Structure 1
Amino acid sequence: MRPHSVICRLGDRDRARIPGAPGVQQTEISFIAADRRLDFGLGHALDQLAAVGLRPSEIAVDLGVLAATLTAADTRINRRSESQDGWTREITLEVPVSDPALWTSVEDLLVRMLNFLTGDRWGLRFRARPAGLKRLAPAPTRLAMYRPSDVCLFSGGLDSFIGAIDLLADGRAPLFVSHYWDGVTSAHQTYCGDRLEKHYPKVGFMHLRARVGFPTDAVAGSGVENSLRGRSFLFFALAALAADAIKDDVTIHVPENGLISLNVPLDPLRLGSLSTRTTHPFYMARWNELLGRLGIRATLNNRYRHQTKGEMVAGCADRVFLERTAKGTMSCSSPAKARWSGSPPQHCGHCVPCLIRRAALVAGLGTDDTTYTLQDLRAAPLDAAKAEGEHVRSFQLAIARHKARPGSARFRIHLPGPLNDALAELGAYEQVYVNGLDEVGALLAGVVARPL
């Protein structure tokens, strides 16, 4: 186990001495490429905004740099080899910013957010940018000809696709924000964007796409990390960067069904670090607190937080269009694993997101023409000791537990994290959890996973 310090450098001018600590491995990553342009996808994102006359504040750029530094640490410091318990890492981020006093004032809030999000122990240190780098956001190359009405996360998944359809059908002109690293994610985002552009030719929207990622050897002596618990921090930061450039009060839409957003653990083994919290209400509330304290005029909102995925599908503003195109969205947690069976990247059909997707499309559309590696859940008994049956069995246990003690739902919704920011919504969160279990339960009727 090794504590780590990841130091963000802003090119050759950034020579600030960062004292080390005994036993802590320091890793330096330079974020400035040629011509004072930010690297690792951030510069490209800023260029896309400048091309339509938009320029974010330097505080918003700082947020993007912090998020990218976090992404480097989260994806390149392996949990198994670098932590004592196989999960909890100790990581400090050293980041140069435009206003160190402001960023230091929100340090405790950020640490609280990151610890909750990833299950690690984070430290943050902020210092002034080096001289000559007062502005990192490029000046617009034209007058602002585009004024988005909203910002919306656009992942290439089914929920974000429904969120986009609902906004466009309502006559909104959103700015869609995507980030990706692998080709599979990029392909599905491109598919979704192209279909929306063709279906809504008279509604103007912009699609900002940022490829943010780091070399596999960015941290010496450590393998890559695939749990990706910090990915939503980068996603939200890029959306805030875009929203801030609009120079107005902006809603950042986070389309996510309530069952996944709450992510109540299906069994005791999935509690805590094994339960992702990327859009949990507590985490979203802390983000809105952070944006307010940074002076960024944006608010994150998940309008679907009280709906199951099936209810999102059924309530989509253009169900006919959705039925034609849903198969091109990507919900699977690990689509590339299909390659092990000789298939192209595709939905596995048996992970938690795939099971919720399958249940939602059947419940909401009455049909599901997605191609799954495990196409028929009832073809043969599934082995619960293997990937094909592990999450099926977890769902079955959770459903059986709820049927035995229906009243426990009001307590179980609090297991992933506090809901103190939404006391008036507790009944709605309890209901979406129950409805979500029922939705998946209908899908799994007659499915056998052994051992029982």
Structure 2
Amino acid sequence: MSTIYVGTVKAIADLVLVPNENLYTGSKKIMDCFGELDALDEDLLNVASGIYAADLATPRRERELHCRDIEITIEVVHKQSWDQVQKKLQYALYVLSKDNWKIAFVKRKIKSSTYLDWNGSEGAVLLFSGGIDSMAGASEFLTRKEPLVLVSHSSQGNSVVDKSQKDVYQALCNHYKQKVPYYPIKVYGRNKGAHTFPDERENTQRTRSFLFLTLAALVMKKNKMSKILFMAENGQFAVHLPLNQARVGPFSTHTADPLFLQYAQEIFSHLLENDNFCIENPFLYKTKAEVFAVLPDPLKKKAIHSASCWKISRTKQHCGECVPCISRRIAIEYNGLSFNEYLHDVFKSDLKTLPEDNTGKRNMVDYLEFISTFKSIGDIKALINHHPELHNDAFDLEKVIKMYHNMAKQSYKVLDKYPNVVKMY
């Protein structure tokens, strides 16, 4: 069990996170853009950044120790409101990370008021990661000439992702000949003075989605935008069925899991006292290739500036061998383009001669195993038995199965061009 305390009161815990000391919450950026923070603003930042930092500070172990037990206590002003969403928040984090979270709130004793006004402007806030999906999501809004605000998150020293976000943002502004409101916000753990942060960190960042949504909801509140927050993620990675049984649970990311978004919507609607608050994923039933197809042709070429790779902050370019890189390449090539951007060319490698523990080979084999189950849609009951995660009231089962069937067809159309991959069928 890892115990963490977030606040300014001296406490006994494995790790004490002090906002704006060893926990950089992003509050300065919000204040620079919107002025003073009210009590709820600070609560939102401290809770979300505290959970994110607790995730980073608690490394996973091997196999049976891969699931973590994390106990976190957080100082908040609006304790009663947070207590009312405590169980939902714990379960939402479980959906995201498949870890056991125990969250407690203690009263932060300061004099501060909260101001809520939901009679403001129409429009939407979009989570802008700098990847293909958020690029396509922004493009759809701008094509329809609908009001849009973009919010990004990145951690300290992640210059590759920072550059990707800036380059994709600039490509969108140039193409649509307008300056889109954009708020890039950094949140991270650090060493500062007597307050330290662990050097050994967990790099999966499973709870980043909750932080990202919180930052976007806060920007939405500050802009007095009344209704919608968008998290654009293709259905392959939103539903994110595990490629095989070895990847069940915390071995797979659940960044935009529809069930998580459902719980997050309920949590924020309560905290923000806004019954109209809504979180939507416009690409839930689209494959990665279909999302890429949304982009106008000039922006498709600019998508080379986007970032999809899990390792890109370390490799400084797309590794070419992780599952997001494989999916990205299939999406791009299915649409008739090819980017020379990969550190390892798994598609052209002689996979049969590579050792079984080679990352690229293992990921490609698992990917092929997965799409083979959706190559043809026959016995739906057998398909559900093979993928029990399809039992989920948060999405339309028929549309999800069709989406994965399309993904399989699109994948084979691209992979059939690579003889060394075909040998692995």
Q: TM-score, normalised by structure 1?
A: 0.83
Aligned to 2:345: 375
Post-superposition CA distance 1:19-41 (Å, at most 9, x none): x5xxxx531121146xxxx9614
Do the aligned partners of 1:56 and 1:244 also contact (CA within 8 Å) in 2?
A: no
Out of 1, 4, 10, the residue aligned to residue 2 of structure 2 is 4
Secondary structure of the residue that 1:420 maps to in structure 2? coil
Structure 2 distance, partners of 1:412, 1:207, is: 44
C-alpha displacement of 1:405: 7.2
| Residue identity matched to 2:312 | P
Whether the 8 Å contact between 1:258 and 1:308 is mirrored in structure 2 is yes
The answer to whether residue 186 in structure 2 is matched with residue 194 in structure 1 is: no
- Matching residue of 1:28: 16
Which residue does the alignment assign to 2:182? 207
Partner of 1:437: 408
Q: Which amino acid in structure 2 is aligned with residue 164 of structure 1?
A: A
What residue number does 1:44 align with? 28
Which residue in 2 is equivalent to 1:143? none
**Partner of 1:92: helix, strand, or coil?**
strand
1:280 aligned onto 2:280: no
Q: Report the counterpart of residue 373 of structure 2 in structure 1.
A: 401
Shift of 1:314: 1.8
Amino acid at match of 2:123: S
Per-residue deviation, 1:421: 3.1
Check whether the contact 2:49–2:211 (CA below 8 A) recurs between aligned residues: yes
Closer, same or farther: CA 219–74 of 1 in aligned 2, 3 Å: farther
Deviations 1:168-192 (A, max 9, x none): 1111231100000111111101111
Unpaired runs of at least 5, structure 2: none
Q: Which residue of 2 aligns with 1:357?
A: 328
The answer to whether the 8 A contact 1:148-1:175 is kept is no
Note the residue ranges of structure 1 that are not aligned, 5 or more in a row: 138-145, 339-344
Q: CA deviation at 1:399?
A: 2.5
2:61 counterpart residue number: 80
CA contact (8 A) 1:271 1:416 kept: no
Q: Which amino acid aligns with 1:175?
A: V
How far does residue 335 in structure 1 lie from its aligned partner after superposition? 1.6
- Aligned residue pairs total 410
CA offsets, 1:313-370, max 9 Å, x none? 2233xx22222301110111112453xxxxxx11112211111111111223x11224
Give the Cα–Cα distance (whole angstroms) in 2 for the partners of residues 255 and 189 of structure 1: 15
1:58 corresponds in structure 2 to 39
Q: 1:72 to 1:210 in 2, by over 3 A?
A: same
Aligned CA distance change for structure 1 residues 160 and 248 (closer, same or farther; 3 Å): closer
Amino acid at match of 2:126: C
Q: Letter of the aligned partner of 1:191 in structure 2?
A: D
Task: Report matched runs for 1:191-340 at 5 Å.
Answer: 191-202=167-178, 204-215=179-190, 223-297=200-274, 298-316=277-295, 319-338=296-315
Distance 1:325 1:164, change over 3 A: same
Match in the other structure for 1:341: none
Q: Is it true that 1:114 corresponds to 2:93 in the alignment?
A: yes
Give the whole-Å Cα distance in 2 for the aligned partners of 1:136 and 1:388: 51
Letter in 2 for 1:236: L
- C-alpha separation between the residues in 1 aligned to 2:233 and 2:25? 25
Listed one character per residue, the Cα deviations across residues 408-448 of structure 1 (whole Å, up to 9, x for unaligned) are: 575169644752133xx221111111111222232322333
* CA distance in structure 2 between the aligned counterparts of 1:221 and 1:249, rounded to whole angstroms: 39
Deviations 1:372-430 (A, max 9, x none): 112361243353420121111111112233448743575169644752133xx221111
* Contact 2:23-2:50 at 8 Å conserved across structures: no
Q: What is the alpha-carbon distance in structure 2 between the residues aligned to residue 244 and residue 106 of structure 1?
A: 19
Query: Which amino acid in 2 is paired with 1:399?
Result: I
**Counterpart residue type for residue 176 of structure 2:** Y
Identity of aligned residues (%): 24
Displacement of 1:154 after TM fit?
0.3
TM-score by length of 2: 0.88
Structure 1 distance, partners of 2:51, 2:167, is 29
